[in-house]
């Protein structure tokens, strides 16, 4: 049931809420910088993604490349987030990643780990995207993406980083994550 529900939920993540019946109350969400626990925090993360995604982007969607179950207790999804930010110049961006879900004996998801994030956006906001940026020439097509970890400058910003900051800010306001954890270590492709 969890695999089928994820196949239906993930592509429409920015237009409707998830079916939370497949998750345990004590679910843990892990991304490269944070860990959140509990179904309330999990619901808040996806609400914040939808809310801030609509504010920061003219168009935003997620494409699922593959959903599979490599073992009885895990599910893997390879996806790509694409969007057109609300900026006064023509821009388009995308990033890929994987979501690993751990499933208990009852078929309920108790852990969701987002991994292998690979951003593909211009390093400066005014540089127009090239065709190579849009098609991702030279990027791996396997679920095991390997990209360089860069430290972001404080002055660097883009709609994807703003989306992450906005979602993170929502959780900080709710008191759900420790203060002082920065954006160091976000993945970028050059």
For 140-155, the pLDDT digits (tens) are 344 444 433 344 444 4
Per-residue pLDDT for 190 more than 60?
Answer: no
- The whole-number pLDDT of residue 16 equals 93
Length of the chain, in residues:
190
Per-residue pLDDT for 139 more than 50?
Answer: no
Strand 23-30 and strand 109-120: pairing?
parallel
Tell me the C-alpha to C-alpha distance, in Å, between residue 173 and each of 6, 32, 43, 127: 29, 20, 15, 33
Report the pLDDT averaged over residues 113-118. 85
Chain-wide mean pLDDT for the chain?
A: 76
Which of 125, 105, 97, 123 has its CA nearest to residue 30?
A: 97
- The whole-number pLDDT of residue 106 equals 95
pLDDT band at 86 (very low <50, low <70, confident <90, very high): confident
Domains of the chain, with CATH numbers?
A: 2-173 (3.10.450.50)
Spatial separation of the C-alpha atoms in residues 108 and 1, rounded to whole Å: 9
For 4, residues 6+ apart whose C-beta sits below 8 A from its C-beta are: none
Spatial separation of the C-alpha atoms in residues 30 and 52, rounded to whole Å: 20
- The whole-number pLDDT of residue 140 equals 39
**What percentage of the chain has pLDDT greater than the value 90?**
48
Report the pLDDT averaged over residues 106-122. 83
Tell me the C-alpha to C-alpha distance, in Å, between residue 170 and each of 39, 78, 173: 16, 26, 5
- The whole-number pLDDT of residue 17 equals 94
- Phi/psi at 107 (5° precision): 85, 10
Q: What is the model's pTM?
A: 0.67
| 119's tokens | 């951003």
Spatial separation of the C-alpha atoms in residues 70 and 72, rounded to whole Å: 7
- The whole-number pLDDT of residue 159 equals 67
Report the pLDDT averaged over residues 127-137. 42
Per-residue pLDDT for 34 more than 80?
Answer: yes
Comparing 183 with 82, the larger pLDDT belongs to 82
- The whole-number pLDDT of residue 165 equals 73
Per-residue pLDDT for 108 more than 60?
Answer: yes
What is the full DSSP assignment across 6-19? HHHHGGGTTTS---
Residue 93 contacts residue 158 (beta carbons within 8 Å): yes
């Amino acid at each position: 049931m969890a695999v089928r529900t994820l196949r239906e939920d993930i592509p429409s993540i920015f237009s409707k809420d998830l079916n939370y019946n497949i998750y345990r109350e004590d679910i843990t969400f892990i991304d490269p910088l944070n860990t959140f626990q509990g179904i309330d925090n999990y619901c808040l993360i996806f609400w914040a993604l939808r809310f801030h995604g609509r504010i920061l982007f003219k168009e935003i969607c997620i494409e699922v490349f593959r959903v599979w179950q490599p073992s009885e207790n895990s599910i893997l999804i390879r996806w790509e987030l694409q969007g057109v930010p609300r900026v006064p110049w023509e821009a388009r961006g995308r990033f890929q990643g994987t979501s690993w879900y751990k499933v208990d004996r009852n078929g309920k998801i108790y852990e969701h780990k987002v991994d292998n994030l690979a951003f593909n956006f211009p390093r400066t906001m005014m540089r127009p995207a090239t065709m190579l940026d849009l098609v991702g020439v030279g990027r791996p097509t396997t679920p095991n993406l390997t990209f360089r970890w860069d430290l972001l400058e404080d002055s660097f910003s883009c709609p994807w980083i703003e989306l992450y900051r906005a979602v993170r800010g929502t959780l900080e306001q709710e008191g759900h994550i420790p203060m002082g954890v920065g954006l160091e270590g976000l993945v970028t492709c050059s």
